[in-house]
Amino acid sequence: MNPTPINCKQLILEDAKERALKDHTLEQIAFSHGITRRTLNKWLISMDEEHRELRQLWVDNMLTRAKEEIDNVKDNFPLENTNSKSRAASWCTERREQNKQGHSQRENSS
């Protein structure tokens, strides 16, 4: 498999930012660019400070969708799945707090 050229990756990330603001899913964005959601996830996770806003938007959207799914559970049967989503949402929240703390520490040390 050939790696994606850096300029294409940058263009995809810029498109992802615009489309994420319009509430497109990572699946939709990745599919439209001929890459996997996993690849797009990996790129989003590894982004530098220039793309911090997109990374934060991505995490916020994941949390919002997980909360909506949990809130819309009509019976107790999918409880195991709900617990997994709840743990994932908690993990994302913890990561967001760590990112904020790390960013604040970098600003203070500058």
The predicted pLDDT at position 78 comes to: 52
Residue from 62, 52, 69 nearest 107 by CA: 52
pLDDT, one tens digit per residue, over 27-37 is 899 999 999 98
Q: What is the pTM of this model?
A: 0.49
3-state secondary structure 82-104: HHHHHHHHHHHHHHHHHHHHHHH
| Token representation of residue 63 | 């949390």
pLDDT one-digit tens code per residue, 58-98 = 778 778 888 888 888 776 555 555 566 677 777 777 777 77
